[in-house]
């Protein structure tokens, strides 16, 4: 059993200006994907009367259950938590979250898609009109049959936020409906998965890749920055006296954690442990939009990538430079996706950075990347071209507005891609990464997986056209690897389902990065 699961990673707040997608088995009808600010939704429901027994002890709910009990478990290693009840609901006090989750199931099962649409956060509402919700529901109805009843409920803390899970029994299968709300009680993610999938992913123990050797390094918790935006991070330090070359990992879009977790995968931990095993120190950290999503709301209308990414990356470089075990002359920045797109801007802001590593960094205008990704994902999940064009029509108008220098400054966020305010787009419109890269003196390494559908050969060609004549710039493309630089089953072009397959960053990628850093640092290469 599968589902599309493209998930706004602004899970705790729809006010974050960037979002990250997560995708599960792409079988069903609707999706909307843009890696950097992507949202998509698929419902698996069928129309049938619902039975919702009383479930909540919270006095204001009026839905009491004398037999209610709660079990809570916590995994310190994985920073995950799970709450489970013996009754088909769980009150989270603020907005009675499980009440909301069951109401959503009720509305979908009764075909009240307009009510569900009203619950959506602004950032995903333009992409999920009533017609799209209805088409998704009808497609699922054909596959799993009519809804029968609600089963158990639970709440699971994931790297993307607190997920409320309602197990639903259908005619031919039981499935989990997973709901994530922001602080305003609006839906920022609504997915359906096989029973237990979210819990399994959230509580899965990280298994190091074969090339990681934890005995060769140790880790320390650090704080990045000062004042309002202090961020927690982890530095992986090789065993020995140093000083060591070091690399900073800069996330893709969205409120990312330090491991750039996309359940069940942790590509930044793979990179950190793999490179530290080779004698290179690595710093990774929680992104500002993850740690301070709620408090950044007041700055939403003026937020740009400077506040979202660049300022904190520069603070992290400064932290590395001040550590005695780090060689201050050999600090590198590795940017993935949005981080790769912005790497030239980071390098320009700090010319002492030794070199830049761009992993799947796009070079096309951001709004074009969003539209192309959406078009591709819809081509996989919506066979009717007329329906696809209808679902893309709003986004195309929004992209057109971003490119209009006269109208953009006064445009409302609701009229722009993914409800991101004009200030963000105005800033990016003035940034041309390949042109900034041409002005830099730092060496650069560009890597791309051939199977990546989010950042494509077109992006790679833009970088090559701008920098291909330089002897200190290297380009490598890897067959059969995805946007996460993990192997794709079948070795062909990735789909959203690719990201839910457990894996690790390919060893050849880690080795290439390590060797490149060592060559520039005049360190011995592995034999």
Catalytic residues: 337, 452, 483
The secondary structure element, H or E, covering residue 219 is: strand 217-224
Report how far apart, in Å, the C-alpha atoms of 433 and of each of 200, 248, 335, 398 are: 39, 19, 13, 22
In angstroms, the CA 130 to CA 147 distance is 20
- The closest of 46, 50, 49 to 140, measured between CA atoms, is 46
Q: Number of C-alpha atoms within 13 angstroms, CB side, residue 42?
A: 30
Beta-carbon contacts of 218 under 8 Å, excluding residues fewer than 6 positions away, are 236, 237, 239
| Unique residue bearing structure tokens 């790297």 | 159
Beta-carbon contacts of 487 under 8 Å, excluding residues fewer than 6 positions away, are 480, 481, 503, 506
In angstroms, the CA 355 to CA 465 distance is 20
In angstroms, the CA 99 to CA 92 distance is 9
- The verdict on whether omega for the bond into residue 63 sits within 30 degrees of 0, i.e. cis, is no
Report strand pairing: 355-359 vs 326-336. parallel
Coil, strand or helix at 4 = coil
35 contacts 18 by C-beta, under 8 angstroms? no
Please compute Rg for the chain using Cα positions. Answer: 23
Q: Token pair for residue 349?
A: 């802001």
Long-range CB pairs of 224-227, under 8 A, 24+ apart, other chains included: 224/285, 224/312, 224/315, 224/316, 224/319, 225/311, 225/312, 225/315, 226/315
7 contacts 256 by C-beta, under 8 angstroms? no
Q: Number of C-alpha atoms within 13 angstroms, CB side, residue 509?
A: 31
Rounded to 10 degrees, the C-alpha dihedral 308/408/416/399 comes to: -100
- The closest of 32, 26, 44, 35 to 125, measured between CA atoms, is 32
Q: Token pair for residue 456?
A: 């494509």
Query: What is the secondary structure of 126-158 as a DSSP string?
Result: GG--HHHHHHHHHHHHHHH--EEEEEEEEEEEE
* Full 3-state SS string of 349-411: HCCCCCEEEEECCCCCCHHHHHHHHHHHHHHHHCCCHHHHHHHHHHHHHHHHHHCCCCCHHHC
């Amino acid at each position: 059993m599968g589902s599309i699961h493209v998930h706004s990673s602004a899970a705790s707040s729809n006010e974050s200006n960037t979002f990250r997608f997560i995708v599960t088995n792409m079988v069903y009808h609707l999706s909307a994907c843009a890696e950097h600010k992507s949202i998509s939704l698929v419902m698996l429901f069928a129309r049938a009367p619902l039975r919702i027994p009383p479930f909540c002890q919270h006095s204001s709910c009026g839905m009491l259950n004398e037999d209610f009990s709660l079990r809570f478990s916590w995994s310190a290693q994985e920073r995950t938590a799970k709450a489970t009840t013996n009754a088909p609901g769980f009150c989270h006090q603020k907005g009675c979250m499980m009440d909301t989750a069951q109401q959503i199931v009720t509305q979908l099962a009764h075909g009240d898609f307009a009510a569900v649409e009203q619950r959506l956060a602004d950032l995903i509402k333009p992409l999920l009109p009533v017609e799209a919700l209805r088409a998704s529901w009808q497609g699922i109805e054909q596959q799993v049959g009519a809804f029968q009843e609600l089963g158990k409920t639970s709440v699971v803390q994931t790297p993307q936020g607190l997920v409320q899970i309602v197990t639903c029994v259908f005619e031919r299968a039981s499935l989990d409906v997973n709901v994530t709300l922001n602080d305003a009680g609006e839906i920022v993610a609504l997915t359906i998965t096989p029973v237990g999938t979210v819990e399994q992913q959230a509580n899965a123990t990280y298994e190091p890749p074969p090339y990681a050797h934890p005995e060769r390094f140790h880790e320390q918790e650090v704080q990045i920055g000062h004042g309002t935006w202090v961020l927690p991070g982890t530095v992986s330090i090789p065993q020995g006296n140093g000083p060591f070359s070091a690399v900073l990992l800069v996330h893709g879009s969205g409120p990312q954690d330090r491991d750039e977790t996309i359940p069940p995968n942790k590509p930044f931990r793979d990179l950190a442990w793999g490179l530290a095993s080779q004698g290179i120190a690595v710093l990774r950290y929680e992104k500002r939009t993850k740690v301070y999503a709620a408090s950044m709301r007041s700055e939403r209308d003026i937020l740009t990538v400077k506040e979202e990414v660049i300022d904190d990356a520069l603070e992290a470089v400064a932290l590395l430079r001040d550590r005695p075990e780090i060689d201050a002359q050999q600090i590198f920045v590795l940017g993935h996706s949005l981080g790769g797109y912005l790497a030239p801007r980071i390098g320009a802001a700090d010319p002492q950075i030794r070199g830049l590593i761009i992993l799947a960094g796009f070079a096309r205008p951001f709004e074009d990347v969003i539209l192309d990704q959406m078009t591709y994902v819809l081509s996989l999940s919506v066979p009717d071209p007329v329906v696809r064009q209808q679902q893309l029509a709003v986004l195309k108008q929004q992209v057109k507005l971003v490119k209009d220098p006269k109208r953009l400054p006064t445009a409302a966020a609701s009229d722009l891609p993914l409800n991101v305010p004009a200030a963000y787009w105005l800033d990016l419109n003035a940034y041309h990464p390949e042109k900034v890269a041409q002005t830099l003196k730092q060496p650069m390494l560009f890597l791309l997986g051939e199977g990546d559908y989010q950042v494509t050969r077109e992006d790679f060609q833009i970088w090559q056209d701008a920098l291909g004549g330089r002897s200190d710039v290297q380009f490598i493309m890897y067959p059969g690897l995805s946007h996460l630089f993990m192997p794709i089953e079948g070795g062909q072009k990735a789909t959203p389902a690719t990201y839910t397959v457990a894996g690790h960053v390919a060893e050849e990628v880690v080795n290439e990065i390590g060797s490149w850093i060592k060559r520039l640092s005049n360190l011995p290469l592995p034999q």
